[in-house]
Amino acid sequence: MEVVIGPSAAVLAADAIEALVASRPDAVLGLATGSSPLPTYQELVRRHRAGTAPSYDEVRCFLLDEYVGLPAGHPQTYRETIFRELTDALGISRDRVAGPDPSDVRNAGRRYEEAIVAAGGVDLQVLGIGSDGHLAFNEPGSSLASLTRIKTLTARTRADNARFFGSVDAVPHHVLTQGLGTILRARHLLLLAAGAGKADAVAAAVEGPLSASCPASVLQLHPHATVLVDAAAAVRLERASYYREVYADKPDWQGL
């Protein structure tokens, strides 16, 4: 696992995504929603508008997760959110953006797994981390081998996400989420975290024991996981000075 601490997470993440799409125009991107990836998405859109980005016309996208119980087209569905925040602006047609289908919860998991496999798997998966260490919507206690399925949100996650809904009562209780086993199948994991509120979760994920109690610790099992954090989110990392030293001495050719 590579841990990069600094203010340039959005630029580094955008560089990695662009490098992938430049080398493989039909790349499969796994997209997270929430606040953490927003600066990266804004950077990608800025470069696209500046005319310096590769074409995204052939890219396919898979969402990490989706709420259950919101009406289709609700602005807080993750499908609408990703259209608004990224894919429409990059010119990716909506039929190339897939998410788990909340109108068919019973079959959605199996069908979503099949769709990801049929697309050839996810090349690069963008991730955030919940303040309780959740990854996608895999709450603490989730199987480390889990696949896409329905989950029940914890009270803490519903409270964290209330800001998007106006009140905690409006936040759905149920979601569909890629499992931790699904996420591990992606070829490159890119986790973004910023702010002091994520410091404990980042430390547990990166340096704590591998445990379902911290779902994001599953990154420790992945052969190509990159964690991009700002200084505030890194304050609980015991090996922070080592990560800084490694990054400072990193060969230019290596990329993320």
Of the candidates 66, 113, 139, 160, the residue annotated as catalytic is: 139
- How many residues bind ligand GLP (CB under 6 A)? The answer is 14
* 3, 9, 31, 64: which one binds ligand GLP (CB under 6 A): 64
Q: In what order do the strands lie in the sheet with 225-229?
A: 2-5, 225-229, 188-193, 124-127, 28-31, 60-63, 97-98
In the complex, the smallest distance separating the C-beta of residue 81 from ligand GLP, rounded to whole angstroms, is 10
**Quick check: is 139 catalytic?**
yes
Q: Does 65 bind ligand GLP (CB under 6 A)?
A: yes
Give whichever of 128 and 179 is closer to ligand GLP, judged by the CB atom. 128
Of the candidates 43, 134, 160, 188, the residue annotated as catalytic is: 134
Question: Which positions from 29 to 48 touch ligand GLP by CB under 6 A, shown as an x/- string?
Answer: ---xxxxx------------
Tokens of 193: 């975290």
Residue 82 phi, psi (nearest 5): -75, -35
CB atoms near residue 49 (< 10 Å): 11
Q: In what order do the strands lie in the sheet with 65-67?
A: 65-67, 174-177, 149-152
In the complex, the smallest distance separating the C-beta of residue 129 from ligand GLP, rounded to whole angstroms, is 6
User: Among residues 201, 227, 195, 198, which one has the least CA distance to residue 214?
Assistant: 201
Question: Which positions from 99 to 128 touch ligand GLP by CB under 6 A, shown as an x/- string?
Answer: -----------------------------x
**Quick check: is 134 catalytic?**
yes
Give whichever of 32 and 256 is closer to ligand GLP, judged by the CB atom. 32
Residue with tokens 């894919």: 87
User: Among residues 31, 29, 37, 32, which one has the least CA distance to residue 13?
Assistant: 37
Alpha carbons 205 and 216: distance in angstroms, whole number: 5
Residues 151-190 that bind ligand GLP (CB under 6 A): 157, 161
Rg (CA), the chain: 17
Give whichever of 12 and 53 is closer to ligand GLP, judged by the CB atom. 12
Of the candidates 43, 65, 113, 123, the residue annotated as catalytic is: 65
Residues of the shown chain interacting with ligand GLP in the complex, contacts defined by CB under 6 A: 32-36, 64-65, 128-130, 136-137, 157, 161
Active site residues: 65, 132, 134, 139
